[in-house]
Chain A
Amino acid sequence: MLPALLYFIIFRYIPMANAVLAFKDYNVVAGIWGSPWAGFKHFDLFFSNPVFWTLLQNTLGLSLYALIVGFPIPIMLAICLNEVGSGFFKRTVQMITYAPYFISTVVMVSMIMLLLSPRLGVFNLGLQALGLEPINFLGRPNLFPSIYVWSGVWQNSGYAAIVYLAALSGVDPMLYEAAKVDGASRIQKIFNIDLPGIMPVAVILLILSVGSLLAIGFEKVYLLQNPLNLGSSEIIATYVYKIGLLNANFSFATAVGLFNSVINMILLVLVNAYVKRVSDMSLW
């Protein structure tokens, strides 16, 4: 037990204490605790920086888009898979749809680049076959959110559906029997039995994803970035990395990161409180 607890203290709680750096001017020689206090200077700098609104907009926009598209699709997939029984077809579809989950971000991004490449990408070869001009998909800032979100759907839907399928398999079979006797149609069964059955799981997952609206994955966005699409692809996490580690502006980057963490926590608590009031379900 001790090793894991030590781990959480060293790699999770000490960094939280280190976040005090956001209120200081970091000095390598003096270290974190010896550096002079700077108050809210770094936060002021960040909020008054024109880049602040762009970052906030990009980060929120990307994750809201991902949430709206990415949340219902796995539910639909799970319900449809549940409808087709348990034959070969179901197993094959399930197996293939969750395979992409195991592909690494690096490979995922390079697949996106290859498939969307202006010269040889399948999409552009298709466009050319139709007599249209090829499009440099990754060079268009307005296309970036869609590329990010739909490739995410491609990669994660099958995996996310597993959780819902598990919830569906836990539904009391008596309910289906009863529905059959009453002559309910398939659609009625879905709306009156399936959906209420997965509601608790869905609500929990929804709360969690709202709570991480600003904690959007750094890894994929960073790799998909290029100078052409930066206008819509620069998010808080990539900005922190660049300012902090590439420019070695530790205090400022810590302040930006802390802002991000705090907003996330507030969002999570608020959404949880709201859901608790309307539906009696809660994370804790």
Chain B
Amino acid sequence: MIRANPIKRPTRIREAWGDQLFLAGVYLFLLLIFVFVAYPLIFVISSSLSSPLAVSSGRVWLWPVDFSLRGYQVALSNPQIITGYANSLYYTFFGTLISVLATVLVAYPLSRRTLFGRSAIMLFITFTLIFSGGLIPTYLVVKELGMLDTRWALIIPQAVAAWQVIIARTFFQVTIPDELAEAAALDGCSDLRFLWSVVLPLSKPILAVLVLMYAVGQWNAYFDALLYLKSAELQPLQLVLRSILILNTTTSGSMEASAMVERQQMADLLKYSLIVVGSLPVLLIYPFAQRYFVRGMLIGSIKG
């Protein structure tokens, strides 16, 4: 005979009435935030996929009206945009490469307790977060080095970010125990080889964070280009976007008067398409990096 045990009987724990109300409030709040953030994004994308007339007469609210790809056609046939895109890819690729390399090479030694003068060097780096010489003095250094109006000016002056060094160092400190390095050294493994074949494979999350941070920073930067570059053929995409989107200057040849109206409509649509085109590379990589990203941020910022 089986006797039901009143204690072990699975009972549904009902949440208190107040808790349910509260939870409903939480969902509502999140929903509001979601709409607040998502609406502008959806609006821009929808506009970029609409016809020139629909955009310039303000008929787009939420979804594309008179679906068309005209905006993208015009955007991608503009030589300025193409040059800017190529330049930005160049700066982002080489800039990120140099930045990540330099950051890892300084952050790893700093994570080892055996390094001589470790805390002094850390202080030396951290201090730059607190105090800076300012815009003009930095500009003069770049000028003295002869980097003005060269591609170097966008890659070198912002190459290493102190914050990134700190995050990477903390990560190495937590994940790579000193004993591991000692064991490798006993086995006759050189520091560089240890870094390459042990540390790096174990540090994918932090590498992902570094690559993403530096690449996004480099792709999105416009200020250094504004400061240091004059030649049009060196300009990154963001400066090209700035002149079209914000200063409203388009390089248009002579046009018939009848085409003026159409051109104005086109200009409105073009802005939306350019916004999408300009943000696409970055928005494409972040979901892939997300997996590592959150984990890397987590470990890296524990003792931040």
Q: Which residues of B contact A105 (CB under 8 A)?
A: 220, 222, 238
Question: Contacts A106-B241, A186-B19, A265-B131 hold; do A97 and B37 have CB atoms under 8 A apart?
Answer: yes
**Shortest Cβ distance from A126 into B: residue:** B61
In the bound complex, do residue B135 and residue A19 qualify as a contact, i.e. CB atoms below 8 Å apart?
A: no
Q: Which residues of B contact A69 (CB under 8 A)?
A: none
B58-98 vs A: 1/0 string, CB under 8 Å? 10010000000000000000000000000000000000000
In the bound complex, do residue A21 and residue B282 qualify as a contact, i.e. CB atoms below 8 Å apart?
A: no
CA distance A103 to B126 in the complex (A): 28
Of B27, B162, B227, B246, the contact of A84 (CB 8 Å cutoff): B27
Is A88 located at the chain interface by the 8 A CB criterion? no
In the bound complex, do residue B283 and residue A122 qualify as a contact, i.e. CB atoms below 8 Å apart?
A: no
**Shortest Cβ distance from B294 into A: residue:** A162
**Shortest Cβ distance from B304 into A: residue:** A204
| Range for the number of chain B residues in contact with chain A | 35 or more
Is B11 located at the chain interface by the 8 A CB criterion? no
Shortest CB–CB separation between residue B171 and chain A, in angstroms?
Answer: 13
Shortest CB–CB separation between residue B190 and chain A, in angstroms?
Answer: 15
In the bound complex, do residue A185 and residue B222 qualify as a contact, i.e. CB atoms below 8 Å apart?
A: no
Question: Contacts A95-B287, A103-B279, A106-B246 hold; do A3 and B102 have CB atoms under 8 A apart?
Answer: yes
In the bound complex, do residue B40 and residue A106 qualify as a contact, i.e. CB atoms below 8 Å apart?
A: no
CA distance A223 to B238 in the complex (A): 12
Shortest CB–CB separation between residue A198 and chain B, in angstroms?
Answer: 12
Is A55 located at the chain interface by the 8 A CB criterion? no
Q: Which residues of B contact A83 (CB under 8 A)?
A: 23, 26
In the bound complex, do residue B22 and residue A107 qualify as a contact, i.e. CB atoms below 8 Å apart?
A: no
A181-200 vs B: 1/0 string, CB under 8 Å? 00001110000000000000
B18-31 vs A: 1/0 string, CB under 8 Å? 11001100110110
CA distance A3 to B159 in the complex (A): 10
| Range for the number of chain A residues in contact with chain B | 35 or more
Q: Which residues of A contact B34 (CB under 8 A)?
A: 92-93, 96-97
In the bound complex, do residue B22 and residue A185 qualify as a contact, i.e. CB atoms below 8 Å apart?
A: yes
Is A244 located at the chain interface by the 8 A CB criterion? yes
In the bound complex, do residue B36 and residue A106 qualify as a contact, i.e. CB atoms below 8 Å apart?
A: no
CA distance A157 to B34 in the complex (A): 11
Q: Which residues of B contact A8 (CB under 8 A)?
A: 124-125, 128, 160, 162
Q: Which residues of B contact A186 (CB under 8 A)?
A: 19, 22-23
Q: Which of A68-104 contact B (CB under 8 A)?
A: 76-77, 80-81, 83-84, 89, 92-93, 95-97, 99-100, 102-104
CA distance A242 to B19 in the complex (A): 55
Shortest CB–CB separation between residue A266 and chain B, in angstroms?
Answer: 10
Shortest CB–CB separation between residue B123 and chain A, in angstroms?
Answer: 9
In the bound complex, do residue B106 and residue A18 qualify as a contact, i.e. CB atoms below 8 Å apart?
A: no
In the bound complex, do residue A21 and residue B137 qualify as a contact, i.e. CB atoms below 8 Å apart?
A: yes
CA distance A97 to B128 in the complex (A): 31
In the bound complex, do residue B275 and residue A110 qualify as a contact, i.e. CB atoms below 8 Å apart?
A: yes
Binds A, one of B138-146, B172-180, B181-189, B199-207: B138-146
Give 19 CB contacts A-B under 8 Å: A4-B103, A16-B132, A16-B133, A19-B134, A21-B136, A84-B27, A84-B30, A99-B283, A102-B286, A103-B279, A103-B283, A104-B241, A104-B282, A113-B245, A122-B61, A219-B223, A257-B137, A260-B134, A261-B131
Query: Which 5 interchain pairs have the tightest Cβ spacing?
Result: A15-B133, A257-B134, A18-B137, A104-B220, A4-B106
Q: Write the residues of chain B forming the contact surface with A, with a CB cutoff of 8 angstroms.
A: 16, 18-19, 22-23, 26-27, 29-30, 33-34, 36-38, 40-41, 43-44, 55-56, 58, 61, 101-103, 105-106, 109-110, 121, 124-126, 128, 130-141, 145, 156-160, 162, 165, 216, 219-223, 227, 238, 241-242, 245-246, 268, 271-272, 275, 278-279, 282-283, 286-287, 290, 294, 297-298, 301, 304
